[in-house]
Amino acid sequence: MCGICGVFQSSGKPVERQLVERMTSAIQHRGPDGSGFFISGEVGLGHRRLSIIDLGGGAQPISNEDNSLFVVFNGEIYNFIEIREELAKKGHVFKTRSDTEVIIHGFEEWGTECVNRFNGIFAFALWDANRKRLFLARDHMGVKPLYYAVLRDRFLFGSEIKALLEDPACARLVDLKALGLLFTLHYVPSPDTLFEQIKKLPPAHWMMINADGMTMRRYWKVKPQIRRDVDESQLVETYRGLVEDAVRLQMRSDVPVGLFLSSGIDSGALLALMRKHTNGPVHTFTIGFAQGEKTNETRDAREMADRFGADHSEMIVGPEDYAKYYDRYLWDLEEPVGNETAAAFYFVSLIASRKVKVALTGQGADEPWAGYHRYIGIKLSGVYSRLPKFLTERLIPGAVERFTRNERLRRGVTSLNEPDVLTRFVKVYSFFSPSMKARLYQPWLQRELSTNGQQAREALRRWQTDVADLDPLTQMLYIDTRTNLPDDLLMVADKTSMANSLEVRVPFLDVRLVEFIETLPPNLKLRWLRGKYLHKKALRKWLPREVVNRKKKGFDNPIDEWLRGRMRHYIGECLLSDGAAIHRYFNRKYIEELVADHEARRHDYMRQIDLLISFELWHQKFIGS
């Protein structure tokens, strides 16, 4: 796991070494074990290394035998041993034991098609000196980030935005379209970022850049073919085999591999399989929260660790820890998200980094398997739409609006009566409804952006087109897996773990697993009102029934209570002060109303407030106060 960056001068002018060095230094935290450079004429590549595979011989950039190809790589190719053996039989000669080198020889052998052979998490850049072209690619699920900027006379890329901003020509301007997406979807979907000039390569895409311009292609597009003849017992066995093989592959490392352990089935099953595939105890890591006794997972996680003989570490995080981290929270994240649990990943990564360089996580099992409450609404919407209109259009929404503070329930009911699938998805995601955005946006911003979510629908439509003829649940899971997952949850996990120089791997997002799950009919994912049906059935082999049936907790934390108490100054400084940058964009009086209603407990606006604070902190760090 590493950090990469680079420059290509489309004008043909020589690259300034100092720029590449500054870009590389900006992401030093991603690779504290060493740095490397390749600078020749119009191209410059930079690399920071976190040594995990081939500790002595895997330094980058790596070249082929005649020095015509050079690569810098962030991530892991889990099946590199198998690919290496195949390439060696074809006559390729390897000089290291690293997974990085299979990218070079894979490109020599298969060209751009090499990415379809890689099972892993990756973002890499490969310079073809003979053809004067730069090839970049990002993994199937978007686990590893890759940002780029096309300037007047050069192309920049990097694992993090900070690297690109080392170039003074890369302007720090807010992209207003992306701002509208953020306050509709609570994240910015690829290829946009909140920076006007900076984009992110979407998952499962590659780019080719030369003096004539840029070409982008999507290399993985497998439309789900839903199975009709279903033998549950056979499907369970197939899925178990895929999960176990994913864990086996992702434990490949020349350093110890740990595990983020919760109280749930996903990380519990990973622990059982890791214990099977290692000789010593597995290092496991859990955090809990002060004032979070009702939702903390520490006791149950400790019992799980004891069951499998793990070497367990845990940490109780308090408001002082959060307040101290918030000063650099958005500097690490670089992209604000409406995810109040995001900072928690930093602390579990922090304690893990004290013992290991690599950790597995159970992330990624919810989106393909319908593991969140929002998917239940898809099932209920058909029934709801058949009720009398006076109930669905007036009585029920009015009662929910008047008598419940539950923000998720209010959003869910708003979406139930929406006949258009994509519009319903957007309503489910939106913390800020169109009427709220109409009051939130400054008049000039309302003239720039629609408040009805049209831009968000268009951003998601490119993925919905693949599955528009399939059932609504399959559509939503497909879209979520390719948008919300990489652009929110996986981005947060990558940035917060790499801020601690820790690599995080996600076995449940092995591309073979995702392709298999997406062939299953909806009732094997969401059975009645319970998600992850076949997933849970399969995992019973490795876990006791009480763990399989345990209610999901996630990273629930008492940030709401902390913001009312010891962290109250963040509301004052970020939302209510005269110097807050958000007042350029948003109506101060309406923000004051949101805060007052929330603190009086008339409404639950925790998520809206958290998103506003995140945007203000991001703006202070990157744009200016």
How far apart CA 495 and CA 491 sit, in angstroms, is: 6
Q: Are 249 and 78 in contact (CB under 8 A)?
A: yes
Note every long-range contact of 513-516, with CB atoms under 8 Å and residues 24 or more positions apart, other chains counting: 513/239, 513/242, 513/243, 513/246, 513/368, 514/140, 514/141, 514/368, 514/481, 515/222, 516/238, 516/239, 516/242
Distance from the Cα of residue 539 to its chain's centroid: 24
CA distances from residue 44 to 47, 105, 504 in whole angstroms, order as listed: 10, 21, 28
Task: Please state, in angstroms and rounded to a whole number, the distance separating the CA atoms of residues 483 and 492.
Answer: 13
Rg for the chain (alpha carbons), in Å?
Answer: 24
- Cα separation, 132 vs 422, in Å, equals 42
Report the alpha-carbon angle 618-620-624, nearest 5. 125
Known active-site residue 574: no
Phi, psi angle pair for 106, to nearest 5°: -65, -40
Encoded tokens for 115: 């990415």
Three-class SS state of 476: helix
317, β-bridge pairs: 289
- Active-site annotation holder among 2, 114, 170, 574: 2
The DSSP line for 127-140 is EETTTTEEEEEE-T
Query: CB-hemisphere CA count at 13 Å for 522?
Result: 15
Query: What CA–CA distances, in Å, run from 81 to 104, 179, 249, 259, 289?
Result: 14, 43, 10, 23, 41
As given in the structure block, the two tokens for residue 575 are 């939302």
Tokens for 312? 């367990």
Question: Which is nearest to 554 in space by CA: 371, 376, 356?
Answer: 371
Q: How far is CA 412 from CA 245, 338, 431, 458, 501, in A?
A: 37, 17, 11, 21, 38
Q: Which residues contact 212 (CB under 8 A, 6 or more apart)?
A: none
6 three-class SS: strand
* Catalytic machinery residues: 2
